[in-house]
Structure 1
């Protein structure tokens, strides 16, 4: 019977032999064979070994190999190596990981190459979300708008038809990049893809037409809503009203506002902000304040933009004392006026030599964390020393110290 000591000795000897550099597994492979089966130095060694030496790989294991790949530029090389295996079965998850890796490496040519390969082989069923992601990469990261459009219209060739989600994304992409001449072409092409036009799609068209200054065309699209079985929403009208106000056609904007209310569409804070801004640009400050009261009566809570528009209106009309009072209301509502608002109101109060009001606003400004710049201090000092009490000067000195 072999003793425990003898067994221990045998095991240690066996381990030392296996660890010998002369008996490393790679040294047992003939030189010619080694060059074929050894992974490329650019690949992750673990990934390459898994592909070359494992008898069988499940789709999930293959995805994990690509997820662990540290060098994104090696993705296509590793994919080519994997595709030569008999058990290679590509999945949407695998292609999604590969495309994400290529995007991280800014290898957009590689993505195009892969997409052409997928289209030619047709060996994997892909969902709309997959194409949505590819189109998003082309449009938002690669700046390849044409490829985004081509991918949209190529989707049926992959055995997948787009819905309004992907179609509307491409339309909005074109509007955002101001490619207004292409928007209508893509919109008309939606019929070939079996797209059902919805309110979102029509809103994007209105946004695009307003963006290129075609208000007549935008109104025509508004008339298309009932024909397409759609109902316009608050965004539809807000987009049109914004463009009208930008053109100084505030009366027409209010006409649309009334039409919107007749149709039972409730305005939101953005809608009211657009109208207040339009009135402000025409110097109609009191009407803007009335709109602020109206929105409260309708149960719509003003947002910071609402107050800022009214405040700018008062400042633009040189009603600096009223602006100071309105600024106090903003603060009570928990809102902080902008640095520019403080700058304008202090300059205005200085111009009118209202030193005590300047002192009050300056203290308020400092409490909100804003520090006047050199030009503002110079103007404040000029106003302060132009004939005010010594107490005010000392008060200003205390503010500077603090």
Structure 2
């Protein structure tokens, strides 16, 4: 696995230090590795440094080597480094943070979730036991990759690894169950939390509400909201945004606006996401004047509307021939740093031409009278 430099190739300046007889401290060794980019140079340097009498294995060096290899996407070489760690004297240890980073590299950089799982369960072989943070990281990878069949298997391995499941782990599992539409199983897991001495968090409830609203099951989402309140968990802005968005997407804009007004009574302040949820509801219901008023309110509170909301509002106002409002929205759009695209300008010009034609027809009718 260790790459050799071509014997005719010039030795890089950082690598020349490897041939000095001076004693190299751990910090000086790190300085040799930091400028190296080529993974072959990294592996060659590690081979040479580990043969020196002053070699002192340490986590910082191993972390830096693995970082360099991951940047070059030499993930197979990382296995070689892990085997070297295992071969170090028994007193040498690496931390959970070290394995957390290796697992993230396998899963997020390399897309090898199987390797991430394998690394998680091999940690005790390195005399290191995973924390709930590292365990949750693997669960979350599996949910994001939609490998729902594997999640349960990894979850059952928690006792073997000495991991004490917490609410965060169960939230990830609930998210996975909801993503694949297994809401009954998600509610069963929610009911299990108190039995394990755990209390559902606001994120637990908001996750279930989000997926219910995505599938149009808004009434059930409100049932979850009521249950959350009964169990003494205070809603946050994300909860309200989820419910408002769910209502507006189902065309229940009036109810969404009513909930928007009630947020303050629950101690929650609307954020830009709240305003945009209502905004898209108004635009979808062709309530363009109301949408413009909400946009004015949003900007007055120093919240930035999206480019799409400006575009949809301008197109809607053009369809309604409200060119005076189009002008003011266009000015707002430019002041917020957005540049209208050709399609928007074309829509405005067509609307202006249509308006002139209507005005001419009216004038002609008046003359005939």
- Shorter chain as normaliser: what TM range? 0.7 to 0.9
Structure 2: tracts of 5 or more residues without a match: 1-5, 361-369
Please report how far the alpha carbon of residue 355 of structure 1 lies from its aligned counterpart in structure 2 after TM superposition. 3.6
SS of residue paired to 2:157: helix
Change (3 A) 1:383 1:52: same
Change (3 A) 1:129 1:342: closer
Please report how far the alpha carbon of residue 361 of structure 1 lies from its aligned counterpart in structure 2 after TM superposition. 3.0
Please report how far the alpha carbon of residue 273 of structure 1 lies from its aligned counterpart in structure 2 after TM superposition. 0.8
Give yes or no for the alignment of 1:371 onto 2:328: no
CA contact (8 A) 2:129 2:161 kept: yes
CA contact (8 A) 1:314 1:320 kept: yes
CA contact (8 A) 2:14 2:33 kept: no
Report the equivalent of 2:19. 52
Report the equivalent of 2:329. 361
Please report how far the alpha carbon of residue 372 of structure 1 lies from its aligned counterpart in structure 2 after TM superposition. 5.1
- RMSD across aligned positions (CA): 2.2
CA distance in 2, matches of 1:96, 1:372: 47
Give yes or no for the alignment of 1:144 onto 2:115: no
Please report how far the alpha carbon of residue 145 of structure 1 lies from its aligned counterpart in structure 2 after TM superposition. 1.2
CA distance in 1, matches of 2:305, 2:98: 45
CA distance in 1, matches of 2:72, 2:311: 46
Change (3 A) 1:92 1:377: same
1:230 pairs with one of 198, 202, 215: 198
SS of residue paired to 1:231: coil
Report the equivalent of 2:85. 118
CA distance in 2, matches of 1:40, 1:115: 30
More displaced 10-residue stretch of structure 1: 66-75 or 269-278: 66-75
Structure 1: tracts of 5 or more residues without a match: 1-37, 390-402
CA distance in 2, matches of 1:108, 1:367: 48
TM-score by length of 2: 0.88
CA distance in 1, matches of 2:165, 2:43: 38
1:106 pairs with one of 70, 73, 76: 73
CA distance in 1, matches of 2:359, 2:171: 58
Give yes or no for the alignment of 1:94 onto 2:61: yes
CA contact (8 A) 1:44 1:69 kept: no
CA distance in 1, matches of 2:267, 2:304: 22
Change (3 A) 1:43 1:171: farther
Tell me the number of residue pairs that the alignment of Structure 1 and Structure 2 aligns: 351
1:279 pairs with one of 247, 254, 267: 247
Please report how far the alpha carbon of residue 260 of structure 1 lies from its aligned counterpart in structure 2 after TM superposition. 0.8
Report the equivalent of 1:181. 149
- For 1:1-400, what aligned pairs fall within 5 Å after superposition? 41=9, 43-48=11-16, 50-69=17-36, 71-122=38-89, 124-369=92-337, 370-371=339-340, 373=342, 374-388=345-359
CA contact (8 A) 1:225 1:231 kept: yes
CA contact (8 A) 1:126 1:160 kept: yes
Change (3 A) 1:324 1:82: closer
CA distance in 2, matches of 1:322, 1:250: 24
TM-score by length of 1: 0.81
Please report how far the alpha carbon of residue 95 of structure 1 lies from its aligned counterpart in structure 2 after TM superposition. 1.1
SS of residue paired to 2:19: helix
